[in-house]
């Protein structure tokens, strides 16, 4: 199940060229979610599942085969940031940052990002950010089920295939 919180399912549209670096900031309630799992995932084309690319707890980080992605969590301010460096055209798609609960296999989506990466037209060498790889795991798919229960007060449930919203800066 997917629950939308924060921006209430609004889509942040970002356009980049190959080689550039995407940085996304996601706010959460530090008193409630400080020790919960923060995650960054890419929504599958069918909109029915999200492949988690990186998930971090207070002690461990799981990352799916891509050292270009990093997640930094500031539990004091209630904000985590995702960096995806050396962007490629095939990175284009819909992404979610959120709080993942492995027990109920649910994700509360804090922010939805629609990323469009176009080929580098300049031919100049891109500037890269340095990231490090962490531990790998294979159980990184969050399935989506249609249900109106399970979202806590103040959250809005959305079917994952319906991702409409407005553009806004980070």
Task: Supply the DSSP string of 125-139, one letter for each residue.
Answer: PPP-------B--S-
For the ranges 63-72, 91-100, 136-145, the lowest mean pLDDT is seen at 136-145
SS3 of residue 30 by DSSP: helix
Query: What token pair was written down for 9?
Result: 């399912």
Question: Can you tell me the mean pLDDT for 13-29?
Answer: 96
pLDDT of residue 144: 41
Question: What's the distance, Cα to Cα, between the start and end of the chain in Å?
Answer: 26
What are the structure tokens assigned to 24, written together? 């996304």
**Band of residue 163 on the pLDDT scale cut at 50, 70, 90:** very low
Answer yes or no: is pLDDT of 106 > 70: yes
Distance separating alpha carbons of residues 160 and 94, to the nearest angstrom: 10
Question: 36: closest CA among 53, 60, 52?
Answer: 60
- pLDDT number for residue 124: 55
pLDDT of 4 higher than 60: no
Beta strands in 28-137 (DSSP E): 37-43, 49-56, 61-63, 69-74, 79-84, 93-101, 106-118
Q: What is the pTM of this model?
A: 0.69
The Cβ of residue 119 has, within 10 Å, a number of other Cβ atoms equal to 9
- pLDDT computed for residue 165 by the predictor: 34
**77 vs 48 pLDDT, higher one:** 77
Least confident segment among 79-83, 106-110, 112-116: 106-110
């Amino acid at each position: 199940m997917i629950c939308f919180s924060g921006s209430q399912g609004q889509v942040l549209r970002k356009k980049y060229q190959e080689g550039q670096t995407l940085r996304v900031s996601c706010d959460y309630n530090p008193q409630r979610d400080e020790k919960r799992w923060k995650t960054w995932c890419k929504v599958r084309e069918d909109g029915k599942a999200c492949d988690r690319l990186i998930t971090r707890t207070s002690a461990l980080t799981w990352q799916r085969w891509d050292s270009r992605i990093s997640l930094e969590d500031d539990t004091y301010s209630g904000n985590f940031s995702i960096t995806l460096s050396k962007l490629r055209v095939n990175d284009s798609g819909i992404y979610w940052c959120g709080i993942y609960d492995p027990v109920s296999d649910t994700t509360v989506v804090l922010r939805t990002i629609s990323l469009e990466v176009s080929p580098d037209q300049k031919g100049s060498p891109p500037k890269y950010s340095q990231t490090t790889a962490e531990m790998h795991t294979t159980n990184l798919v969050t399935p989506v089920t249609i249900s109106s229960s399970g979202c806590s007060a103040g959250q809005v449930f959305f079917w994952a295939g319906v991702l409409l919203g407005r553009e806004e800066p980070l």
